[in-house]
């Protein structure tokens, strides 16, 4: 929503909005001259209806039907769009690349945007995370292309008809909306058919078996795919890979974002840029400068000689990929952090009761790769509690297969801080992980800034 507001304001529209809480995104919008109401009250609608031109109301899935502001807009018979309607409108207004998938959307979108920006293409970008190059999650560019993250969480990505669609992978998630994997597949099939061409991950069997792509990428094989990145050297600091296009060797890249999941994101970004006509030589020189979006293994500073990282992982596959990347840093002694860590401590905040219930044992398996796990209470995200979908149940599931690691269950962030003081050591890597408000823990810890 904040990215959409930024772009519309930069393009000359009069934009206002509201939020129940103050945050950095809100502060940035206010700095741009956008009027932000504190709280969502009916009086806000009355205020903006004083102008001669009636406003268009844009609402996100997070807004419930009984929201006072929304009900006031309905009473005034104002035109109301869902967030996805506005994004679909912008996607159709110019040549667009829309990035979908269960994991890696934000990182891949950021990579594509950054490569195009560094190539002086100045793309418009509407992304769910903070793009380091633009220091924002949205940018109103002057170039011909628009890069959009196509979120599948509420099923609305079926509205997006991009010039190029891209699908990173497919797994069951967002069980508050989808009943099973088949429903996720159907949504992605509709999205893929709506795009003029589709670039997809050949290494994901669910995609390979259920979607027809115009072009494929892989980090496992160069056969039968248009774009391949085959790893030559992998450690905790960087990945070196050979790049192939339609089986022809183009050269090597050096990616300063470790982990095979990031290599897959990178070759997807390279493939998208190549399909838009950019030379590999130009992209090759830019790849080492790529940075991950915020909250993707985001180093935040030190606390009592412990290294603190913020990570958005909230699905078992994402947790596992982040844990494996951290273990690689410990094993190889190479890391993008100020010094290589000695142990891995994960502070995990489960996100949504429905997701915790569906993936309880998968979460336990993924978290078992840490040396120590501290669990915060489940972040409900508006959901009602579900019996058995608790952090205590998750702790018990971890203990069944990983009895030797320390597992602490906290009632609040204050107890997390106590556990961190008592149960961690110097040179530990502490990853605060989750999609809720776990990153506010850093304000409590008073970190030494990086």
pLDDT digits (tens, 9 = 90+) for 310-329: 999 999 999 999 999 999 99
Domain CATH for 114: 3.40.1190.10
Among the three residues 271, 289, 307, which one is the final residue of a domain in this structure?
289
* Per-residue confidence (pLDDT) for residue 449, from 0 to 100: 59
d(CA 321, CA 234): 14
Domain CATH for 52: 3.40.50.720
Q: Are residues 420 and 358 in the same domain?
A: yes
* Owning domain of residue 227: 86-289
d(CA 271, CA 199): 8
> Where do runs of H (alpha helix) occur along 195-250?
205-210
CA 95 to chain centre: 23
Whether residue 242 contacts residue 252, with contact meaning beta carbons closer than 8 Å, is answered with yes
Q: Are residues 252 and 328 in the same domain?
A: no
d(CA 162, CA 146): 9
Q: Are residues 430 and 336 in the same domain?
A: yes
Residue 414 gets the label, from left (phi > 0), alpha (psi -120 to 50) or beta, of alpha
Residue 181 CB: number of other CB atoms within 10 A?
Answer: 15
List of residues 6+ apart from 88 with CB closer than 8 A: 159, 160, 161
Burial of 52 (0-12, 13-18, 19+ CB in 10 A): exposed
* Per-residue confidence (pLDDT) for residue 90, from 0 to 100: 96
* Per-residue confidence (pLDDT) for residue 103, from 0 to 100: 87
Q: Are residues 28 and 90 in the same domain?
A: no
CA 274 to chain centre: 23
Q: Are residues 388 and 262 in the same domain?
A: no
* Per-residue confidence (pLDDT) for residue 95, from 0 to 100: 96
d(CA 9, CA 140): 9
Q: What is the pTM of this model?
A: 0.89
d(CA 334, CA 186): 42
Query: Which uninterrupted H or E stretch holds 27?
Result: helix 24-31
Q: Are residues 24 and 138 in the same domain?
A: no
* Per-residue confidence (pLDDT) for residue 269, from 0 to 100: 97
Q: Which residues of the chain have pLDDT under 50?
A: none
d(CA 85, CA 106): 20
Two structure tokens written together for 49: 């209806």
d(CA 146, CA 51): 31
* Per-residue confidence (pLDDT) for residue 383, from 0 to 100: 87
Q: Are residues 269 and 161 in the same domain?
A: yes
Q: Are residues 427 and 321 in the same domain?
A: yes
* Per-residue confidence (pLDDT) for residue 448, from 0 to 100: 64
Paired with 240 in beta bridges are: 233, 254
SS (H, E, C) 295-344: CCCEEEEEECCEEEEEECCCCHHHHHHHHHHHHHHHHHCCCCCCCCCCEE
Query: Domain count of the chain?
Result: 3
Q: Are residues 342 and 260 in the same domain?
A: no
Among the three residues 78, 100, 117, which one is the final residue of a domain in this structure?
78
* Per-residue confidence (pLDDT) for residue 221, from 0 to 100: 97
- The per-residue pLDDT for range 325-350, each reduced to its tens digit, is 999 999 999 999 999 999 999 999 99
* Per-residue confidence (pLDDT) for residue 185, from 0 to 100: 93
Whether residue 354 contacts residue 322, with contact meaning beta carbons closer than 8 Å, is answered with no
CA 319 to chain centre: 13
Q: Are residues 426 and 307 in the same domain?
A: yes
Kindly tell me the sign of the dihedral angle through the C-alpha atoms of 214, 219, 222, 224.
negative
* Per-residue confidence (pLDDT) for residue 178, from 0 to 100: 76
Kindly tell me the sign of the dihedral angle through the C-alpha atoms of 20, 4, 57, 29.
positive
Whether residue 375 contacts residue 410, with contact meaning beta carbons closer than 8 Å, is answered with yes
Q: Are residues 415 and 279 in the same domain?
A: no
d(CA 332, CA 434): 26
SS (H, E, C) 109-129: HHHHHHHHHHCCCCCEEEEEE
Q: Are residues 200 and 113 in the same domain?
A: yes
Domain CATH for 349: 3.90.190.20
Whether residue 121 contacts residue 38, with contact meaning beta carbons closer than 8 Å, is answered with no
d(CA 91, CA 348): 36
How far apart, in Å, are the Cα atoms of 46 and each of 68, 78, 107, 415? 12, 11, 40, 44
Among the three residues 32, 57, 78, which one is the final residue of a domain in this structure?
78
237: which DSSP letter? S
């Amino acid at each position: 929503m904040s990215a959409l507001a930024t772009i519309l304001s930069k393009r000359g529209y009069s934009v206002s909005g509201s939020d129940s809480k103050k945050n950095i995104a809100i502060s940035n919008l206010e700095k741009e001259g956008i009027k932000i109401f504190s709280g969502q009250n009916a009086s806000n609608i009355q205020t903006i209806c004083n102008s001669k031109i009636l406003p268009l109301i844009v609402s996100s899935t997070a807004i419930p039907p009984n929201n006072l502001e929304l009900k006031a807009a309905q009473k005034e018979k104002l035109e109301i769009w869902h967030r996805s309607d506005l994004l679909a409108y912008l996607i159709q207004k110019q040549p667009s690349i829309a990035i979908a998938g269960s994991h890696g959307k934000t990182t891949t979108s950021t990579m594509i945007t950054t490569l195009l920006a560094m190539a002086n293409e100045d793309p418009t970008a509407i992304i769910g995370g903070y793009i380091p190059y633009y220091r924002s999650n949205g940018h109103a560019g002057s170039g011909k292309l628009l890069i959009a993250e196509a979120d599948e969480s509420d099923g609305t990505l079926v509205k997006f008809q991009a010039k190029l669609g891209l699908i990173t992978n497919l797994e069951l998630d967002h069980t508050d909306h989808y009943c099973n994997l088949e429903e996720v597949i159907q949504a992605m099939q509709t999205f893929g058919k709506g795009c003029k061409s589709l670039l997809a991950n050949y290494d994901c069997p669910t995609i390979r078996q259920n979607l027809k792509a115009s072009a494929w990428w892989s980090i496992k094989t160069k056969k039968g795919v248009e774009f391949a990145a085959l790893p030559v050297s992998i450690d905790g600091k960087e990945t070196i890979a050979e790049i192939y296009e339609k089986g022809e060797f183009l050269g090597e890249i050096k990616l300063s974002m470790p982990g095979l999941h990031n290599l897959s994101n990178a070759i997807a970004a390279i493939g998208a840029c190549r399909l838009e006509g950019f030379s590999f030589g130009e992209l090759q020189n830019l790849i080492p400068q790529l940075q991950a979006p915020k909250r993707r293994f985001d180093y935040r500073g030190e606390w009592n000689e412990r290294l603190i990282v913020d990570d958005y992982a909230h699905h078992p596959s994402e947790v596992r990929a982040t844990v494996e990347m951290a273990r690689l840093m410990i094993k190889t002694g190479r890391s993008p952090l100020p010094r290589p860590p000695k142990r891995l401590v994960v502070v995990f905040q489960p996100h949504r009761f429905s997701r915790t219930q569906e993936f309880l044992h998968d979460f336990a398996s993924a978290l078992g790769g840490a040396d120590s796990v501290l669990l915060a209470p489940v972040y409900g995200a508006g959901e009602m509690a579900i019996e058995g979908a608790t952090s205590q149940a998750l702790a018990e599931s971890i203990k069944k297969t990983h009895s030797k690691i320390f597992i602490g269950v906290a009632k609040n962030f204050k107890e997390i801080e106590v556990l961190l003081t008592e149960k961690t050591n110097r040179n530990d890597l502490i990853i605060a992980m989750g999609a809720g408000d776990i990153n506010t823990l850093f304000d409590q810890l008073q970190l030494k800034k990086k």
